[in-house]
Amino acid sequence: MSRPTWFHAIILGAFCTGFGAVLAFTDVLTKDEIDARKIEDMQNSLAQVIPASIHDNNPVTDAIVMAGEDGKAITVYRAIRGAKVTGVAYEIVGHGYAGEVHLMLGVDSQGKVLGVRATAHKETPGLGDKIEEKKTDWITRFTGLSLGAPPVEKWKVKKDGGQFDQFSGATITPRGVVGAVRQGLEYFAAHKAQMLEVR
Partner 1 sequence: MSANYGKIAKDGLWDNNGVFGMLLGMCPTMAMTTSATNGFGMGLATAVVMAASNLLVAMFRGYITQEVRIPVYILIVAAMVTLVDLTMNAWMHELYKVLGLFIPLIVSNCLPLARLEAFAAKEPVLPSLMDGVFMGIGFTLSLTVIGACREIVGSGTLFSDASLLLGPAFKFMETRILPPDTGVLLAILPPGGFLATGLLLACKRLLDIRAGKEISMGGAHCVG
Could you tell me where the beta strands, DSSP code E, fall in 68-108?
Answer: 73-81, 84-96, 99-108
Instruction: Give min distance, CB of 138 to partner 1, in A.
Output: 15
Instruction: Give min distance, CB of 118 to partner 1, in A.
Output: 15
Question: Which residue, 30 or 140, is less far from partner 1 as judged by CB?
Answer: 30
Helix (H) or strand (E) holding 83: none
Instruction: Give min distance, CB of 127 to partner 1, in A.
Output: 7
Instruction: Give min distance, CB of 102 to partner 1, in A.
Output: 15
Instruction: Give min distance, CB of 167 to partner 1, in A.
Output: 12
Three-state SS for 88?
A: strand
Question: Which residue, 134 or 199, is less far from partner 1 as judged by CB?
Answer: 134
Question: Which residue, 32 or 70, is less far from partner 1 as judged by CB?
Answer: 32
Question: Which residue, 48 or 124, is less far from partner 1 as judged by CB?
Answer: 124
Contact by Cβ (8 Å): 79, 85: yes
Contact by Cβ (8 Å): 150, 181: no
Greatest C-alpha distance within the chain: 83
Question: Which residue, 29 or 65, is less far from partner 1 as judged by CB?
Answer: 29
- Calpha distance 188→48 (Å, rounded): 19
What residues make contact with partner 1 under the rule CB under 8 A? 3, 7-9, 11-12, 15-16, 19, 22-23, 26-27, 29-30, 33-34, 37, 41, 124-127
Handedness of CA 44, 50, 51, 53 (dihedral sign): negative
